[in-house]
Amino acid sequence: MRIGIAITAITLLVLAFGCGSPSSPTGTLPRVTGLVVIDSLCEGTSVFLSWNSVPDVDGYRLYFSEGTAYWDELVDIADTFYVDDVSLRTNAGSGYYTVLAFKGTNTSEDYAEYVNTHPNYCGSFTIWSNHAPQDSLDAIIFGETAGLLGKASDSSFVQDAYCYDGGWPQSPVGLYSGSIAPWGDGNSTVMAKGNNPRIAPETGYEDLIHLIEGDRLFLLVESGNYIKLNVDTLAVDSIGPDSLVYGITFGYWFQPIEGLRVFNGL
């Protein structure tokens, strides 16, 4: 299920301004219908789009916007199918698409109802290391719209990842795949750090990473979906006069299109 912000076509037109932005249509051609992202064909950084044909037109103009305020024309084509390789565009990531038919100088009377590839923001969470009190939550299941916290030691809780102190001196905590020791009874999740907030790395994934504040991780879960996780802080709590335990406070975004490594710039 993809979560988006419902904005009417009228609002879209009011907001669409600036360099590369489509102006308000003044044409008489029919509005393009059936614009969709074909989830099953999307992979990596390639977004597959299609729409219904409009009789007796020269072609179609496809537009993209990260947030619907500024629009760029991606392509002018005769086909009703297009593959947008996001990695080929500068600073590009997930966003919105719309299309307009044209014949000569005449255009559709309105833009197609737009579609988007944005991930779902699933909230902020804190999980604690193995030094925390026994009732502390140390594991998470990465849901498509919200996360679920639990205990990695609880065999009935099938975690995707958990927090653990692996003894690395530069960092007090690590994020571990749910399938590896010391617990190892959860789902397999691999992860990699990434510099580009909009595109998850293609390679370099491993089953545990030690963390510092400000780290950005990309995760691949068993369903084939990618997740972006921003480490906001290393949480600190005291259990005694000289004893500190550490955890991870983070927010995450879930890309609901399986196999698509494309995210927003947050």
Domain presence at residue 262: no
**Do residues 98 and 83 both lie within one domain?**
yes
Residue 8 is predicted with a pLDDT of 38
Nearest to 80 by CA among 37, 35, 125, 122: 35
Averaged pLDDT, 181-206: 95
Answer left, alpha or beta for residue 68, where phi above 0 means left and psi between -120 and 50 means alpha: left
pLDDT one-digit tens code per residue, 43-52 = 999 999 999 9
In a shared domain, residues 130 and 242: yes
- Domain finish residue from 96, 116, 136: 116
CA pair distance 177, 130, nearest whole angstrom: 15
The DSSP secondary-structure symbol of 41 reads G
132 shares a domain with 85:
no
Q: How many CB atoms lie within 10 A of CB 253?
A: 20
Sheet strand arrangement including 216-220: 120-128, 243-254, 226-240, 216-220, 190-193
pLDDT at 158 over 60: yes
- Residue 14 in domain: yes
pLDDT at 5: 38
Instruction: For residue 219, give the amino acid letter.
Output: L
What is residue 241's predicted lDDT score, i.e. its pLDDT? Answer: 58
Does residue 169 carry a pLDDT above 50? Answer: yes
Look up the domain containing 87 and give its range.
9-116
pLDDT-above-90 percentage for the chain: 74
Nearest by Cα to 205 from 217, 187, 222, 216: 217
Say what the pLDDT of residue 18 is.
38
Tokens of 81: 């199918």
**Boundary of a domain, candidates 116, 146, 164:** 116
What rounded mean pLDDT belongs to the chain? 89
Tally of domains within the chain? 2
Q: Please state the pTM of the whole predicted model.
A: 0.88
Task: Note whether 33 and 132 are same-domain residues.
Answer: no
Same domain, 63 and 44: yes
Q: Helices in 76-176 by DSSP H: which ranges?
A: none
26: number of CA atoms within 13 Å, CB side?
2
In a domain, 91, yes or no: yes
Quick one: 18 and 63 in the same domain? yes
The radius of gyration of the chain's CA atoms, rounded to the nearest angstrom, is 22
